Amino acid sequence: MEPTFASVASMTVTLALQAQIDVAIAALPAAHRAAPIELEQAESTKAAFIRLQDWAFTKGFALVIESNKYKAGVLNRVIFRCSHHLNKACNTRKTKEEDRQRVKTKTQAKGCRFSLYVSYWKRLYSWAIRSTHLEHNHAPNPDPFQY
C-alpha cells in the first residue's frame, strides 16, 4: 500500500491516528482509491459523489455539492467543489457581528478552485465524471477525519 500522507505529515497526526487513517483507506473499494479519469461512468450522481468523496479522503481533502443544474426540469449536472472553495463565509441573513450567537468562528474558506462535475451523457446512457480545475491552493489535511 502506498503511503497516504507522508509528504504532509503533521505533528497532530499520531502513529495511532495514522494507523486508523490507513485502515479506513484500505477499507475503501480499490476503484474509489484511484484518481477519477475523464468521462469515468457512474450509476448516479449519488454514486459519483460517494466515489469522489472516498478518493478525496485518501488525498486529505473533502468535497461538497456546490450546485445541481436542471434542464427542462430534469437533473443533468451536479458540481462538486473542494470544501475550502469559498472566499469568505456566507452571511445570507446579513446578521451583524454583534448580533451573532457564535462570533469569530473559524471558517474553511480559502478560495480553492478545485472542481469536478458529473453530467448525464445521452450517448453513453450514463452519468460521467468531468473535471474543470484539478489544483488546490492549500495543502492537504493530514487528518481527513476532521472533515
CA 50, distance to chain mean position in Å, is 10
Q: Is residue 96 part of a domain?
A: no
| pLDDT, tens digit (0-9, with 9 covering 90-100), for 65-123 | 998 988 888 899 999 999 887 666 666 667 777 777 766 665 667 778 999 999 999 88
Contact 7, 59 (CB under 8 A): no
Cβ atoms within 10 A of the Cβ of 112, count? 20
Order of strands across the sheet with 63-71?
40-42, 126-133, 115-121, 74-82, 63-71
Residues 114 and 146: their CA atoms lie apart, in Å, by: 19
Instruction: Please report which helix (H) or strand (E) contains residue 18, including its range.
Output: helix 15-27
Q: So what's the pLDDT on residue 27?
A: 95
Confidence (pTM):
0.76
Number of domains in the chain: 1
Q: Is residue 23 part of a domain?
A: no
Q: Is residue 143 part of a domain?
A: no
Q: Is residue 52 part of a domain?
A: yes
| pLDDT, tens digit (0-9, with 9 covering 90-100), for 17-43 | 999 999 999 999 999 999 999 999 999
Q: Is residue 75 part of a domain?
A: yes
Q: Is residue 62 part of a domain?
A: yes
